[in-house]
Amino acid sequence: MNTLAQIIDYKKQELASHRRKISFKDVQKKADDAESPRFFLKNFKKEAINIIAEIKKASPSAGVIRPDFRPLDIARIYEDNGARALSVLTDEHFFQGSLSILTQTKAQVALPCLRKDFTLDAYHVYEARGAGADAILLIAAVLEPSQLKDYRDLANELGMETLFEIHDPNEWKKIELINPALLGVNNRNLQTFETSLKTSLDLIDVIRGERTVVSESGLNDRDDLLTLQQAGFDGFLIGETLMREKDIGKKLKQLVSS
């Protein structure tokens, strides 16, 4: 079983456990009671290096990325040094994140926040909103076209944006008719977890349109971002490159500054 399949299998079991602990009705109520969401793309600017900076302690492929992990400090550093939005890993088992980190982060910074997790059910969409998410991630590789549309529509009803994620042309075909407003290309192969910028460069001409397109993973320096920006990408989701830096703020400034 590849890494993605292992994760999804575990997440299905986790979902069943969560449902037993907190009812669907209670998750809906928490979402309804949450503070109104922020527009996720409000800080994006044309012809700028728009970075969605990720708060990420660990990953299945790399293990612990940042042992000295202080998520609220990291969030403030990101905000002070040019990030346009935040991505917060909330998966506990594989990435050592949590929903509480998302909720606490929203209370500390003004930047909009994406819940970075494996959305498999409407329960997860309501759960995200209840925790303060302004956007959710929908991964084309793990959902059917009907689910992708239904969860996007539900997110919209709750005031959230949806970042659709694809990795290859077949995944694009699954969501093309949905006409996503925000689309990410993950340069990381979710089966092998290897990265290549060629993934984004090969797909940009296919996915370009009246939408915001974001390149994700394997982005190491400003040259990478400029290459992708010139190809047509509007933004960049960056996690490990920042998490591995001793001086996160300095690295982020280097990436966004002309």
215, 216, 220, 222 alpha-carbon torsion, rounded to 10°: 30
> Where is 182: in which H helix or E strand?
strand 182-186
**202, 233 contact by CB (below 8 A):** no
Given this structure, which CATH class describes domain 3-34+51-256? alpha beta
- pLDDT per residue as tens digits for the range 146-195: 999 999 999 999 999 999 999 999 999 999 999 999 999 999 887 777 88
Q: What's this model's pTM, rounded to 2 decimal places?
A: 0.96
- pLDDT per residue as tens digits for the range 85-95: 999 999 999 99
Instruction: Identify the DSSP state of 70.
Output: -
